[in-house]
Amino acid sequence: MPDPANTEPSNAPALTIEGLRISAATEHGRVDVVDDVHLTLRPGRITGLAGESGSGKTVTGLAVLRLLAEPTLRVESGRILLGDLDLARLPRGELRALRGRRVSMVFQEPMTSLDPAFTVGTLIGEVLRRHLGMDRRAARERAVELLDRVGIPEPEKRVDSFPFQLSGGMQQRVLIAMAVACGPDVLIADEPTTALDVTVQAQILRLLRSLTDDGMAVLLVTHDLGVLAEHCDDLVVMYAGQVVETGPVDDVLAAPAHPYTAGLLAAVPSTARRVERLATIPGTVPPPHLLPAGCRFVARCPHAAPVCEEPVTLEDAGGGRSRRCARAAELDLEGVGR
């Protein structure tokens, strides 16, 4: 874990993505599935990445560590900056040295990431031996400490368990222990609570929050706005491969600047208001080869106007916020607050 003596809050970003564009090979030729993505992760903060399935959230996260299934998916342009290093162009050998050491990822399904042929102590120890040069004994002792840190009971016994002997919640904790073993600057968590019950989900999310106390920056990829509202500091909303809105989570929830964000918030069930029918966003996300030339949300937007048919860029809205909407200045969209 990071040295507490060196974890003073910093204004310098932990990770910056600038103008990221990713294409995919399809039956319609190569098409962009992620386009002009900008986002910033800061030390000690959790940034939520939200949007419907197919909006490009997971692909963006995988691109940071260059885990895309090339050549089917490939980064066409843009920068992924970890300090002075551009991960999008870093030689493969140097990138492998950074994976797990400075940037780590927690995947959605732990059983597809944990090798069932090895004990969890061996799996965690492999990370420590590779990146920190620990011997087997030191790595095992550190693995026990990490299992205890992530809340696994009786870590001295569990360190010798195989992944299939653990519950889904424990498997996810093991995966998090592996990801944070070397005290990375950035942790990308891709839907880490999917398929977990509500109690375990809350425990995992509290664990992620505790990791930021050491100065780690966390990117939490999820479609659950309730999770984002409760556990994130900043929010990035994606639609059809583009970032449409960013900002401090409280500000975005209270006063969304993009109709898509407002639509997502309106669709969240609430006990505070009685409605006969839940709000929905009409239509579906257009496939990549049929994206409109202008605003990608135009066909589903209740506020669409002729100006929306023209290309629109992500613009600074002040107060740490940005938006991609031609009519944002004249719209008064309803939020939900916390």
- Whole-model pTM: value is 0.91
The string over 222-240, giving b where at least 16 C-beta atoms fall within 10 Å of a residue's C-beta and e elsewhere, is bbbbebbbebbbbbbbbbb
Q: What is the mean pLDDT of each run of 10 residues along the chain (338 residues)?
A: 44 93 95 95 96 92 94 96 94 93 90 92 96 95 94 95 93 93 95 81 89 93 88 96 96 94 86 74 92 94 94 93 94 77
pLDDT at 99: 94
Measure the CA–CA gap between 258 and 322, rounded to whole angstroms. 10
DSSP state of 108: S
Percent of the chain, pLDDT > 90? Answer: 75
State residue 7's pLDDT score: 41
The predicted structure's pLDDT at residue 338? 54
What is the per-residue pLDDT across 152-188, written as a single tens digit (0 to 9) for each? 999 999 999 999 999 988 999 999 999 999 999 999 9
| Pairwise CA distance, residues 279 & 225, whole Å | 15
Report the pLDDT value the prediction gives residue 4, as an integer from 0 to 100: 39
Distance CA 48, CA 221 (A): 6
Q: pLDDT tens across 113-130, in order? A: 899 999 999 999 999 999
State how far the Cα of 298 lies from the Cα of 93, in Å rounded to an integer: 43
User: What is the pLDDT, as a whole number, of residue 337?
Assistant: 61
